[in-house]
A and B are shown apart, each in its own frame.
Chain A
Amino acid sequence: MAYFQFLIILLLSPLLQGFIKKLKARMQGRVGPGLLQPYYDLIRLFRKEMVLSRVASWIFKAAPFIVFVSTLTASMMVPVITTQSLFGMMGDVIAFIYILAAGRFFMALAGLDAGTSFGGEGSSREMTVAILVEPMMMLCLFTAAISAGSTNIAGIAETQRLLYSPSHILALSAFIVAVIAETGRIPVDNPDTHLELTMIHEGMILEYSGPYLALMEWAHDMKQMLLFTLTMDIFFPLGMATGAGFFSLAVSLVIFILKMLLMGSLMAWVESSRAKMRFFQLPSLLESAFVLAFLSLLTYIMMGK
Chain B
Amino acid sequence: MNPEGYFIAGACLCLFSAIVSLFPIPRTKTHVYLLSLSGSLCFLTFGLHLLFLPPRDLVSIPVSTFFEFAFRGDPLSGFFVLLISLLAAVVSIYSIGYTKSLKNQGLMGFLFSLFILSMFAVVLSGNVFTFLVSWETMSMVSYFLVTFDRDETSSKAGLIYAVMTHMGTAFIIALFLILYKETGSMDFAEMKTRSAQIPDLLKHVIFVFAMIGFGTKAGIVPLHTWLPRAHPTAPSNISALMSGVMIKTGIYGLIRVVLDIAGPGPEWWGMTVIIIGAVSSILGVLYALMEHDIKRLLAYHSVENIGIILLGIGASMTFQSHELFALSAIALAAGLYHTLNHALFKGLLFLGAGSVMHAVHTRNMEEMGGLIKSMPYTGLFFLIGSISICALPPFNGFVSEWMTYQSLLLGFESPSIVSKIVSPLGGAALALTGALAAACFVKAFGITFLGMPRSRHAEEAKESSPSMTAAMGILALLCLLFGIFPGLVVNLTSTVSFPLTGSTGIVSGLGFLRIEGSSTAVSPAAILITMAVMLSAALVFFLALRRKKKTVYADSWDCGIPALTPRMQYTATAFSKPIRLIFKRIYLPRRELKVSYIVKPFFVRSIRYSSEITPFFERYIYEPATGFIQRVAGKVRLLQSGSLHLYLGYILVTLILLLLFGT
Contacts and interface: CB of A to CB of B under 8 A. Distances in A.
Q: Select the residue from A47, A58, A135 with max chain B CB neighbours within 10 A.
A: A135
A123 interface: yes
A55 B392 CA distance: 27
B421 interface: yes
Interface in B399-416: 401-402, 405-406, 409, 412
Given A73-B527, A98-B392, A108-B446, A52 B553 contact: yes
B70 to A, nearest CB: 44
A121 B570 contact: yes
A238 interface: no
A176 to B, nearest CB: 18
A180 B582 CA distance: 20
Nearest to B539: A65
A206 interface: yes
Given A52-B552, A69-B538, A115-B556, A109 B445 contact: yes
Interface string A193-219: 000000000000011000100010000
A40 interface: no
B539 A102 contact: no
Interface stretch (A150-158, A227-235, A247-255, A261-269): A150-158
Contacts, number: 247
Nearest to A139: B428
Given A54-B554, A90-B527, A130-B435, A73 B534 contact: yes
A50 B373 contact: no
Given A90-B526, A206-B557, A301-B417, A134 B431 contact: yes
A133 B398 CA distance: 19
A125 B406 CA distance: 30
B523 A90 contact: yes
B315 to A, nearest CB: 14
Q: Select the residue from A47, A102, A137, A301 with max chain B CB neighbours within 10 A.
A: A102
A131 B579 contact: yes
B551 interface: yes
Contacts of B545: 46, 211
Interface string B4-41: 00000000000000000000000000000000000000
A94 interface: yes
Interface stretch (A12-20, A28-36, A141-149, A164-172): A141-149
Contact of B530 (A76, A108, A118, A301): A76
Interface in A66-102: 68-70, 72-73, 76, 87, 89-90, 92, 94-95, 98-99, 101-102
Interface residues of A, number: 79
A38 to B, nearest CB: 18
A184 interface: no
A123 B574 CA distance: 11
Contacts of B531: 69-70, 73
A280 B428 CA distance: 22
B427 to A, nearest CB: 6
Per CB-CB distance, the 5 closest pairs between chain A and chain B, nearest first, are A120-B570, A112-B446, A127-B439, A138-B431, A115-B451
25 contacts: A50-B549, A50-B552, A54-B555, A65-B539, A73-B534, A87-B526, A95-B402, A98-B392, A99-B392, A101-B392, A105-B387, A109-B446, A115-B369, A115-B556, A116-B556, A124-B577, A128-B582, A131-B432, A133-B435, A134-B435, A137-B431, A151-B520, A279-B578, A301-B417, A301-B420
Interface of B: 369-370, 372-373, 383, 387, 390-393, 398, 401-402, 405-406, 409, 412, 417, 420-421, 424-425, 427-429, 431-432, 434-436, 438-439, 441-442, 445-447, 449-452, 512, 518-523, 526-527, 530-531, 534-535, 538-539, 542, 545-546, 549-558, 564, 566, 568-570, 574-579, 581-582
Given A120-B570, A142-B428, A207-B556, 19 more contacts: A49-B550, A51-B554, A53-B553, A55-B452, A102-B393, A105-B438, A109-B450, A112-B451, A115-B452, A116-B568, A123-B570, A124-B574, A125-B578, A128-B582, A134-B432, A152-B520, A155-B520, A207-B557, A211-B542
